[in-house]
Amino acid sequence: MKVYISLIGDIIHAGHIRLIKEGNKYGDVTIGLLSKDACAELNDIPFIDYNKRKEVIESLTYVKKVVKQDTASYLKNLNSLKPNYVIHGDDWINTFQNKYRDEVINFYKKNKGKLIEIPYSNDVNALKLKESSLENNISSYSRQQMLSHLIKTKKTIRILEAHNPLSALLVEKTSVTINGYNNTFDGFWSSSLTDSTSKGMPDIEAVDTTSRLNTINEIFDVTYKPMIYDGDTGGKPEHFEFTVKALERVGVSAIIIEDKTGLKKNSLFGNKVKQSQETIEKFCHKIKVGKKAQRTNDFLIIARVESLILDKGIEDALKRSKAYLKAGADGIMIHSRKKNPKEIFDFIKKFRKVEKEKVLVVVPTSYNGVKFDKFKELGVNVVIYANHMLRSAYPNMKKVAEQILANGRSEEAEENCLSIKEILELIPGTKW
């Protein structure tokens, strides 16, 4: 008799062993080990590559054979192997994985065999084990590698701004389940705007790299997800070299630099303030200096193109993108201040006709009506929500302060405050 069990196998725990031992009662166990693409469909990204996972699974006593499962769906392997039994925990019944369960059930309506579901054990949770392992053991290099790994695996990821450790913890721990599918943010955006504002400074590159690195280190002390750094213009090429080296050392995964020159002005001002774009030649030189300075292949330098911001049009943006990529940039961030996303969509489509693999980043602050799935459909790799944690926090703090003054007490303000219990649960180590 042949038994089929599907696993990711990133972290092998007691629940997996129970499942495999149960399968062995019915026959020879074949493990369908999920590929990185199949894992991405389940939003559960392995940090160990397929071959190493396979080596571990093959060494288990009750496993007869390991085969690759290229999709979250079992059907391809079921049709090929014709197993007599599929063994799975019953936890997939009420999740988005229910559709894969239905496929297995329908398969056995046409073929001899049976789906056997084992009661799910709450004493083990692979995701929590993985998170705990990362939180306690994450190295700078491991964190840095994570971003490029996520992009390669998931194709499109969500990044949310974090300007201090508390906001970063909220970004990391927030999840929303929709149709049984767990949606989370994949990492942090270190925004120069929110870093400056949180320190009461103007957004003109007034906060130096050393100060920002201190904030990043504080965030990294209590989190494990990767970070993208807002590098503004990158400064002079000679300074940019040292910035890249410093960011690599602490474990930042990527820096985005914009092709403007002179005193930094926020892009969303557009042509209402004096802003000038750097020449292609000079900006390419800066990119080359940065790429030469980096020590790892996983660190990304992404060029932010300001052509649409300055009303120079899509063709200028495409021309610059081509030159920056040729100079060594790992990707392009295209920016727009228009609420209508048409010019962004047009750029993406034209860019993707030529550049199939390079990383493409958008920041939908102005065109905020576009859903994440639309960007995914168009081939965008990184969607950055660039300033929302700070912008949402301060209006609420202002309201609480006014309520306390107006009412002469704090009772009315409580509805706008995080409870003490939630604070205790959010901050690691607070309860003990």
Strand partners, 184: 175
pLDDT of residue 133: 55
Helices and strands per DSSP (H, E), number in the chain: 17, 17
HEC profile of 105-117? HHHHHHCCCEEEE
Q: Where are the domains of the chain?
A: 2-127, 138-386, 392-426
pLDDT of residue 263: 67
Q: Give how far the C-alpha of residue 341 lies from the chain's centroid of Cα atoms, to the nearest Å.
A: 23
Half-sphere exposure of 250 (CA within 13 A, CB side): 24
Catalytic residues: 203
Homologous superfamily of 2-127 in CATH? HUPs (3.40.50.620)
Strand partners, 3: 29, 85
From the number of C-beta atoms within 10 Å of its C-beta (0-12, 13-18, 19+), residue 194 rates as: buried
Whole-structure pTM value: 0.83
DSSP-assigned letter for residue 28: E
pLDDT of residue 11: 80
Contacts of 236 (CB under 8 A, 6+ apart): none
Q: What is the pLDDT along the chain (432 residues), one digit of tens a residue?
A: 999 999 998 888 888 898 999 999 999 999 999 998 898 888 777 878 899 999 999 999 899 999 999 999 999 999 999 999 999 988 888 888 889 999 999 999 999 999 999 887 655 555 555 565 555 567 888 899 999 989 988 899 999 999 999 999 999 999 898 876 788 999 999 999 999 988 888 777 778 888 999 999 999 999 999 999 999 999 999 999 999 999 999 999 999 999 999 766 666 666 666 788 999 999 999 999 999 999 999 999 999 999 999 999 999 999 999 999 999 999 999 999 999 999 999 999 999 999 999 999 999 999 999 999 999 999 999 999 999 999 999 999 999 999 999 999 999 999 999 888 888 777 766 655
- Distance in angstroms (rounded) separating the CA atoms of residues 164 and 250: 16
pLDDT of residue 199: 85
SS3 408: coil
What is the torsional sign of CA 43, 157, 147, 186? negative
With beta carbons less than 8 A apart as the criterion, state whether 257 and 301 touch.
Answer: yes
Please tell me if the domain spanning 2-127 has the same topology as the one spanning 138-386: no
What's the token pair of residue 367?
């065109």
| Architecture of the domain made up of 138-386 | Alpha-Beta Barrel (3.20)
Q: Which residue has the tokens 């840095």?
A: 144
